[in-house]
């Protein structure tokens, strides 16, 4: 997948395996801060992208994460 995003624009897919999965976007820069959060219910999917503002994504709850590098499930 190619994009024109300055930071690389990698996308990840997050699939909730239970109700109430929380996804939190963390900022870039000297101080890492929360800048966005979403809640997913079982079966819902979110497509997220790393950008000039988002350097990390934290996931709470049972979920499957799919990237171009492979897939992983949380162990909760």
SS3 per-residue string spanning 3-44: CCCCCCCCEEEEEECCCCEEEEEEECCCCCCEEEEEEECCCC
Taken in order of first residue, the domains within the chain and their CATH numbers are: 11-73 (2.60.40.50)
Tell me which of 68 and 29 has the higher pLDDT: 68
> Residue 25: pLDDT above 90?
no
User: For residue 43, what pLDDT band results from cuts at 50, 70 and 90?
Assistant: very high
């Amino acid at each position: 997948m190619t994009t024109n995003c300055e930071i690389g624009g990698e996308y990840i897919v997050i699939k909730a395996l239970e109700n109430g999965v929380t996804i939190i976007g963390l900022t870039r820069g000297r101080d890492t801060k929360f800048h966005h959060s979403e809640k997913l219910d079982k079966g819902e999917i979110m497509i997220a992208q790393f950008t000039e503002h988002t350097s990390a994504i934290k996931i709470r709850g049972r979920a499957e994460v799919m990237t171009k590098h492979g897939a992983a499930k949380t162990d909760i």
